[in-house]
A and B are shown apart, each in its own frame.
Chain A
Amino acid sequence: MEALSLLLSGFEVALTPLNLLVAFAGVALGTAIGALPGIGPLNAVALLLPLCFALKLPPETALILLAGIYYGSGYGGRIASILLNIPGDPGLVMTTLDGYPLARAGRGSAALAISGIGSFVGGTSAVILMTFLAVPLARLALSFGPADYVALMVLAFALLTMIGENSPAKTLAAVALGLLFAMVGIDGGSGVERFTFDSIELVGGIDFTSLTMGLFAVSEILILVEGLTVGAVARYTKGAHLTIKEIVFCIPAMLRSTAIGFFFGILPGTGAAVASTVAYIAEKRVSDRGTFGKGDMRGLAAPETADNAAQTGSMVPMLALGIPGSGTTAIMLGAFMMYSITPGPLLFTQRPEVAWGLIASMYVGNIMLLVLNLPLVGLFARLLLVPAWILYPGVLGLSFAGVYAVSNSAFELLITTAFGVIAYVFRKVGVPIIPVLSAFVLARLLEDNFRRALTLSSGDPAILVQSPTSIVLWLLTVVVLLGPIFAPRLKSVIAEGSDPRDDRSSGG
């Protein structure tokens, strides 16, 4: 049981006082931020990223914090979904279907409790699966050559077209733009300046924090201030507590949903939104007796469990392959890069304290979250009452302070605002923004591997399709891109869970 001994060494990292404190801060902050309407995990992780870096936290500590916010937000997000019928993130749309009717029927606290337990079951089971699957997956990836990596990344981009209501052409355009943004600056291979428009400030390239803050925090505030999305009235009634019988009643649904959630989580590109939709639909097929949508506990437990299992699952490809499984993991991948750590197969051998410390911290974090979310949920529910005019100006101020703290440059703030405007326009015209971020993060790796492959073959492009692995990956890419044309229903089933107003469908 090699994985267990490695996990034990991970606990030595995760249980140091600093890392315990940081994990607690992360999950508590994650729950709070998840509970705030309009600020998803993606924004939360993006907001704290510059701070971690500017504070010079050791890499494993910074990642424990960011991961804590990520999976903590999966717990917090359910609060607004159940009590206000406002899903803060597309992964939570399904939670509202049975959660809000339960709250209206006076069982708000029971609904919060069962979904908290579901989140715990999904999150913890997914960490257990991750403990045993990450290393084999990383070993498999070790046999990948440069050409295989190129094919893998192209497949990851192709998978992004499966989600959301956006047309595949727009998703691909977003990927291409993300790659172009990443090329700004000096080319590492030849020293030549690309896309710098003769500006000295752009020679160093576009800063990752400026891009993320602009794309997500600034554009979100611009969308919110327009006032097209209106919140419903809060109602929080306590009512009868959850009974043991009800928990037992939901266990089969939770186990099924864990498997579904984890599977969709590890597929790069798909994420919590797809996972929770499929889990809800599957559970409805299996157990609906006309009660789903009217406040069935299982209809609430299933998507919540899948949502959290998918969040954790999406960290598996990030750690083992270096390919983000969702928008938020793309930001975490950026965090690795800011620390000059390359996630992927070698992470587990070269920086085991980072990989295993992070995994071990997630066991601890999920237990902390269960404690935080069962007795203290009322505290977090109060956060729903913070008025928008205090909250969002604060978010704007904090994101600018974060960009400035990392770059020490006022010019970067203008870049941030520029990306905010670009993302605002993109969201208006239905171009998704998560693919821009995923592509930006992967661009360097993609180009390096592409050029390395062609160096190996002295410029013959046939090398890209020669190994069995790359052939399989290219074939999968073709299936993913052409699949919806031949099976249009498939896409509509998957797209059902995504929020048409937003493109955060890759799991937040």
Chain B
Amino acid sequence: MIDRIVGGIFILIAAAALGHAYTLVVPFAADPVGPRVFPMIVATALGLSGIAICVRPGQITLEFGDWRRVIAILAAAIIYPFLLVPLGFITATALLCFVSALAFRARALPAAISASVTAVFFFVMLDMLLDLPLPRGPLGI
């Protein structure tokens, strides 16, 4: 069943890609095939693979562990880019690492300490020692 869904999604993506490739018409291309033939071949291959998966689905059992921990890390990772520039690298990264550490079953205090140390360590290493500019945040650090 799961394999059929996977195959079905691949077929849908393939159809969408084919449709998009079909619209790629250029008045002049440097070569006889232009920009559309290659995507169309690839999309066809994807569609055929999807059909093959649907026709002969394997047995997969979806196993999920503690999915709330996955959501926690994902949420932190999605919010992180929006905080990075306003808060600066150190604060934003410390928050990211703090949430992730909690998700990896750390207790709050050790998680806070290790997250802050990690964030400062990366900032010193990357921004100061290796001279790769990272966002500095309101306090200038």
Contacts and interface: CB of A to CB of B under 8 A. Distances in A.
The yes or no verdict on A and B being binding partners is yes
Interface of A: 51, 54-55, 167, 169-170, 172-173, 175-177, 179-180, 183, 187, 189-192, 194-195, 218, 221-222, 224-228, 387-390, 392-394, 396-398, 400-401, 404-405, 410-411, 413-414, 417, 420-421, 424, 428-431, 446-447, 450-452, 454-455, 458-459
A404 B103 CA distance: 23
A318 B119 CA distance: 36
Nearest to B6: A429
B118 A227 contact: no
30 contacts: A51-B130, A54-B130, A167-B58, A169-B50, A176-B45, A177-B10, A180-B39, A183-B38, A189-B30, A190-B30, A194-B35, A195-B20, A225-B69, A225-B70, A226-B64, A226-B65, A393-B101, A393-B115, A394-B118, A396-B73, A396-B96, A397-B118, A397-B122, A400-B96, A401-B89, A405-B132, A414-B81, A417-B78, A428-B64, A430-B3
Interface string B2-38: 1100110010011001001100101011111111011
A194 B24 contact: yes
Contact of A401 (B17, B20, B53, B93): B93
A228 to B, nearest CB: 4
A389 B106 contact: yes
B66 A454 contact: no
Contact of B31 (A175, A189, A192, A413): A189
Contact of A183 (B39, B62, B78): B39
Nearest to A171: B49
Interface of B: 2-3, 6-7, 10, 13-14, 17, 20-21, 24, 26, 28-35, 37-39, 42-43, 45-46, 48-50, 52-53, 56, 58, 60, 62-67, 69-70, 73-74, 77-78, 80-82, 84-85, 89, 93, 96-98, 100-106, 110-111, 114-115, 118-119, 122, 126, 130-132, 134-135
Given A172-B48, A218-B77, A225-B100, 20 more contacts: A173-B50, A177-B10, A177-B46, A180-B42, A190-B28, A190-B34, A224-B104, A225-B73, A227-B66, A389-B110, A393-B101, A394-B122, A397-B118, A401-B93, A405-B132, A410-B81, A413-B84, A429-B6, A454-B33, A458-B32
A390 B20 CA distance: 45
B45 to A, nearest CB: 5
B101 A390 contact: yes
A173 B64 CA distance: 24
B126 A228 contact: no
Given A173-B46, A226-B67, A397-B97, A389 B73 contact: no
B49 A392 contact: no
A118 B89 CA distance: 44
A222 B17 contact: no
A452 B49 CA distance: 27
Smallest CB-CB A-B distances: 9 pairs: A226-B65, A389-B106, A459-B32, A176-B46, A393-B100, A410-B81, A173-B49, A169-B52, A389-B104
A141 B55 CA distance: 39
Contact of B53 (A173, A392, A410, A452): A173
Nearest to B97: A393
Contacts of A431: 6
Given A55-B132, A455-B31, A194 B97 contact: no
Contacts of B3: 429-430
Contacts of A400: 77, 80, 93, 96
Contacts of B97: 393-394, 396-397
B77 A420 contact: yes
Contacts of A393: 96-98, 100-101, 104, 114-115, 118
A113 B41 CA distance: 51
A318 B35 CA distance: 27
Q: Which of A55, A170, A191, A420 has the most CB of B within 10 A?
A: A170
A225 B103 contact: yes
Given A189-B30, A397-B119, A413 B80 contact: yes
A417 B30 contact: no
A454 B42 CA distance: 16
A417 B46 contact: no
B46 to A, nearest CB: 4
B36 to A, nearest CB: 9
A392 B60 contact: no
A398 B101 contact: no
Nearest to A457: B32
Contacts of B98: 393
A189 B34 contact: yes
Contacts of A411: 81
Given A167-B53, A398-B122, A452 B26 contact: no
B45 A228 contact: no
Given A190-B29, A221-B100, A393-B101, A228 B63 contact: yes
Nearest to B35: A187
Contacts of A455: 30-32
Contacts of B52: 169
Nearest to A420: B77
Contacts of A224: 104
Contacts of B39: 180, 183, 194-195
Contacts of A404: 84, 134-135
A447 B39 CA distance: 9
Contacts of A452: 31
Contacts of A451: 31, 33, 38
A162 to B, nearest CB: 16
